[in-house]
Structure 1
């Protein structure tokens, strides 16, 4: 299982603590694997962009109106976190539904 997020994100650390055998991929430092961002956007759509983040609030109206995938490539911290990949299946966020689907306590 791979957890895509930021190493200093509390939510990503909670997910990593729950699944110590998984690995955290820091999307700011390491980027996203080819095709994963597109696959995640195809599955989750606009929910992939965290419009409640400080990064989002710092963007101009023109930037906010840009193409979501381009925004996420330019500003990785805009991605809702964590994005979890397990056996080709994607999960977004760390809510109760995601934890239940992954078998987390």
Structure 2
């Protein structure tokens, strides 16, 4: 995959869980590809900020720089402003170090 603004994809899944006769909807967003300065605008614009309970899965991606962390921060803060719960999963070691060193938002990580 080439390093361009189209170097990543988001795949969205919806999971329905039943808990005490109440439906809980959880959206899983899977990020594919390289997240760096040239792809951050498209990353931020790709999110649906209206649905609740987001899980962002970075298993198939790599976070390269501070601008990528800024984009993740922007997405998380915007989601949390609208009372969404946000969880990030499967960051690789270098991406996790960047996010937790530079991110402004408090992120739930598993």
TM > 0.5 between the two?
A: no
> What is the TM-score of this pair, normalised by structure 2?
0.25
The structure with the greater share of residues assigned to helix is 1
TM-score by length of 1: 0.25
- Structure ranking higher in strand proportion: 2
Higher RCO structure (Cα 8 Å, ≥6 apart):
1
